[in-house]
Amino acid sequence: MKNIGILAIAIITMIFLSSCSGLDLSKVSDEDMERIADKAIVCNAPYMRFGTGCCLDQNSNAICDNDESLEASEKNFETDVEEGEVETGEETVKENQEEVKTATEKKSPSFSSSFDLSEFPDFLILKGTDVFDGVIVIGDDNSAGAFNGAYDIIDELSAEGYNVGSLKTASDILGDEFSLNLITIGNPCENDVTASIMGNPKNCDSGFEKGKAFIRLYENGDNIAVVVAGGNSDDTWVAANMLLEPDKYGIKGSETILITEGKLSNFWTEPEVTGDEPEEAYKPKQPLSSSVDLSNYPDFFGNVENVLNAIMVVYDDPQEAMPYAIIGQALSDEGFEIGSGKTPNQVSDPFGINLITMGNPCENAVTASIMGNPKVCDAGFVSGKGMIRIVQNGDYVAVVVAGKDRKDTWEASKILANHDKYNLKGTTIYTDTASKSVIPEDEYWGEGEAEAEAESE
């Protein structure tokens, strides 16, 4: 007690002297001040010693109440930020954070850990049914390989008894791709849906190499996306066919890299001309008349027992058989049995059979013959437009589906394939490629095109 009293007196004396005589307390070390204050300063409950003074500690937890409040405030702020509930003006950021989180998840789907490519197509079939629970997608300006590969998959699944819907292009479903089960065919440069599923890579052809392809299985929540893509058109076509035989080609897990170079001939061979198809098979049941128009398509061919009574003629290049696949699939969906497509050099007499001939006279010699071998082979065709025309020749009829270029022909083929939807009538229909629609004749012709049409006739 005696020592404490002495220390207290000493402190009081020092403070007094510092105020009266200019004593510099800065020369007293912090350690000495702490030691002196520890002995001289007494804090009665509910206060506690803190540094060289006292602070309030009402809950007796040895933490100054002021510090405790600040710590709790900081903790609450951190929690609010994590939960996205911090207000900015009149709005909260929670909704925005959720949107960003959702968008990020959608743009970067992960490989599937729930399913295996070796089980294809079982994970896309509704249990207990024959319904294919997915959509097959190609790009809007797709390569022939993706298109043909898509139809090879459709044909095989249909042959196995599955109810497969129609082929879709990327623009048909873009924006809804994460709410559907998908088989998306073609690399990100060719197919916007593939690009979206793969997180929109900066370089759309990054990781792709000619002669190789991959098949990947992505999952996004409850949905599955199978991506089939190669370094070029042939690679994608081959990979699509390999997918149909996963055991044979070792396709398993969530990703399989395939060597596709030089293997297209394993899946496609040019059909041979057999010469055993009698001309009588293509004669209609009754003579055609001038009243025949597209409102009667395809019945005016005189089909017997759902067998299409016409030959479908495509380009010499089998990889450009997209219009044949579009129209052929539609006819199959309507219940018709169709034969294999023919190339122009396989048709010896275009005037002795019923025809659906695709491509303009520059591209298809049969079209050229049917249209009178025009001096300028693309005369009458307008860029960005297409036409569907019935040409009658005695007892036979030819339907010409053509455009200025192959994309125009492709879009015209889609319109013929959906003839009921477009309510086609007359002997000539004009189409617009950009709007994918039927247009009136005066809208089809541009300045000087009408004269070119007249010269071609």
Least confident of 123-137, 306-320, 441-455: 441-455
Domain assignment of residue 445, yes or no: yes
Question: What's the full length of the chain, in residues?
Answer: 457
CATH number at residue 412: 3.30.379.10
Both structure tokens of 238: 């081959």
pLDDT digits (tens, 9 = 90+) for 59-107: 777 777 666 544 443 444 344 333 333 334 444 444 444 443 444 344 4
Q: What is the mean pLDDT of the chain?
A: 76
- E-strand ranges in 106-166 read 110-111, 135-138
Give the distance from CA 295 to its chain's centroid: 35
Among 59-63, 169-173, 248-252, name the most confident range: 248-252
CA–CA gap between residue 11 and residue 167 (Å, rounded): 94
**C-beta of residue 275 within 8 angstroms of C-beta of residue 342:** no
Full domain range(s) for residue 122: 117-266
Predicted confidence at residue 291, as pLDDT, reads 57
State mean pLDDT over 156-166. 85
State mean pLDDT over 47-56. 69
State mean pLDDT over 301-307. 83
CA–CA gap between residue 6 and residue 11 (Å, rounded): 9
- Structural domains counted in the chain: 3
Predicted confidence at residue 164, as pLDDT, reads 85
Which residues, in sequence order, are CB contacts of 353 under 8 Å at separation 6+? 279, 282, 310, 311, 347, 396
Domain assignment of residue 434, yes or no: yes
Domain assignment of residue 81, yes or no: no
**pLDDT at residue 189 greater than cutoff 60:** yes
Say if residue 292 is in the same domain as residue 178.
no
Say if residue 252 is in the same domain as residue 298.
no
Last residue of a domain, one of 266, 296, 323: 266
Give the distance from CA 192 to its chain's centroid: 5
pTM value is 0.49
The burial of 332, by beta-carbon neighbours within 10 Å (0-12 exposed, 13-18 middle, 19 or more buried), is given as middle
Predicted confidence at residue 314, as pLDDT, reads 86
Both structure tokens of 66: 């002021």
Domain assignment of residue 153, yes or no: yes
Domain assignment of residue 89, yes or no: no
Say if residue 215 is in the same domain as residue 308.
no
State mean pLDDT over 343-366. 90
Question: In 339-360, which positions are buried (b, 16+ CB within 10 angstroms) versus exposed (e)?
Answer: eebbbbebbeebeebbbbbbbb
Predicted confidence at residue 84, as pLDDT, reads 37
Last residue of a domain, one of 266, 292, 325: 266
Report DSSP letters for 188-253, one per residue.
Answer: TTT-HHHHHHTT--SSTTTT--TTEEEEEEEEETTEEEEEEEESSHHHHHHHHHHHT-TTTTT--T
